[in-house]
Amino acid sequence: MKRENVKFLSEGLQCAGWLYMPQNASEECKVPAIVMAHGFSLVKEAFLDRYAEVFCKGGFAVLVFDYRNFGESESYLPQHLEPNEQIKDYRNAISWICTLPEIDVEKIGVWGTSYSGGHVLHIGAVDKRVKAVVAQVPTINGRKGAQRKMVSEKFNDFMRNLTNYRTERYVNGERKMYPVVSLNGIAAQPHPDAYKWFTETAEKVAPTWKNEITLESMEHYVEYNPAGLIDFISPTPLMIIAAMEDGITPPDLIIEAFEEQAKEPKKLLELPGGHFDVYNGPTFDQASQESLKWFQQYLLTKKTSTTNK
C-alpha cells in the first residue's frame, strides 16, 4: 500500500487529496476504487486515513479529498459549505480517479459519513458510475435534524434570523460567520457531544479544520434533503450505518428512510454508541470492517444481490 498527495480539478479549482493504491495495482491489473470525503466542516485528517487504510488493505484504490473551501483545497469562498457544490466535488473526484490507468472504472464505490453520508445517498441515486454505496451515520434531512438539535423556540428564532440575514446579505453584500460548535450551544452543531469531540479530538489531529462556517451555509443545511432520492439508488447496493445513541444524525430518521424508502439490495447496520464513536471510538472497527465487506461483496466479487438487515 502506498499513499501520495494528489490534486484534481473541480469546477475550476484544485481539490487536495490522498490517493491510496494497493501494491498490485497496474494497468494490467486494474483495481476497484472508493471515493470518500468527510462530514460537516471537517477535513480529511480527522480520522479518514484510518478508513482509507482499511479499504486499501482490502484491495481498493482509495481517494480521500477535501472539498473546495476547506482544508488544503482551493476556495471560492472560505469555510462556505454548500451541499450541491460538495456533491460536484465528489463527482469530479470520481471522474478524476477514472482517468487513472490502474482503476477499473466499472467498479467504483462511494463512502460518506454524517453530512457526506447524505451526499453519497444523492450521488448513488443520480450517478450510475457508482456501483456500491456506504452511508455512515448519514444526514437524512437537514431541517428535521436541526429541529431535533434545537428546542422549538430556538429553532423558530434561528429560522427568522436566517430569513433576515438573507435580506441583509442582498442589500449590503456582507457575509457573516457562524461557529461550528460552541460552549453555549449557539452553533451549527449545538449538541454537547459535538463540542467535546471537535475541540478535544478533531482539532488536535486536523490542524486545517476551523471552527467556523459562513452563516449562509446554514441556509443550505436546513434546505438539504439528501434522502429525497434514496429510492432511486437501487439497483446499486446500499449499506447504511446508524449509531443508536446518535444525537447528531437521529437514528430513527435513518432507519425510517432505510425501511420505508430505500430499495434492494440494501443492508442496515445498527451500532451501539454515539455519532463520533465510529471515527476514533469503540465502533470504528466494526463500522470499517462491515463497510469493507460490503464493498468487497459488490466490487471485488460478483454475487447475486441479497437482502441484509
Radius of gyration of the chain (CA): 19
The string of pLDDT tens digits covering residues 20-44 is 999 999 999 999 999 999 999 999 9
**Alpha carbons 78 and 234: distance in angstroms, whole number:** 35
Q: What is the DSSP letter of 298?
A: I
Question: In 10 A of CB 50, how many CB atoms?
Answer: 14
The residues, ordered by sequence, that sit 6+ positions from 51 with a Cβ below 8 Å of its Cβ are 36, 111, 288, 291
pLDDT over 70 (residue 307): no
Which of 121-130, 173-182, 296-305 has the weakest average pLDDT?
A: 296-305
Which residue type sits at 34?
Answer: I
Nearest to 39 by CA among 237, 185, 186, 226: 226
SS3 242: strand
pLDDT over 60 (residue 265): yes
CA–centroid distance for 224 within its chain: 14
Residue 115 confidence (pLDDT): 98
Question: In 10 A of CB 37, how many CB atoms?
Answer: 29
CATH code linked to domain 2-149+218-300: 3.40.50.1820
309 falls in which pLDDT band (50, 70, 90)?
very low
- Mean local confidence (pLDDT), 234-248: 98
Residue 302 confidence (pLDDT): 55
CA atoms within 13 A on the CB side of 181: 20
- Mean local confidence (pLDDT), 187-209: 95
- Mean local confidence (pLDDT), 197-223: 96
Residue 185 confidence (pLDDT): 86
305 falls in which pLDDT band (50, 70, 90)?
very low
- Mean local confidence (pLDDT), 214-228: 97
Residue 149 confidence (pLDDT): 87
pLDDT over 70 (residue 303): no
What's the pTM value of the predicted model, to 2 decimals?
0.96
Nearest to 45 by CA among 182, 204, 188: 204
Residue 301 confidence (pLDDT): 76
Are 264 and 307 in contact by the 8 Å Cβ rule? The answer is yes
Q: When comparing pLDDT for 167 and 149, which is higher? A: 167
**Alpha carbons 9 and 308: distance in angstroms, whole number:** 37
Which residue type sits at 145?
Answer: G
- Mean local confidence (pLDDT), 112-133: 98
- Mean local confidence (pLDDT), 269-278: 98
pLDDT over 90 (residue 304): no
Nearest to 56 by CA among 301, 302, 292, 298: 292
Residue 261 confidence (pLDDT): 98
SS3 264: coil
Residue count (the chain): 309
The residues, ordered by sequence, that sit 6+ positions from 305 with a Cβ below 8 Å of its Cβ are 235, 237, 264, 265
Dihedral (C-alpha) 190, 193, 196, 198: value to the nearest 10 degrees?
-70
Q: Where are the domains of the chain?
A: 2-149+218-300
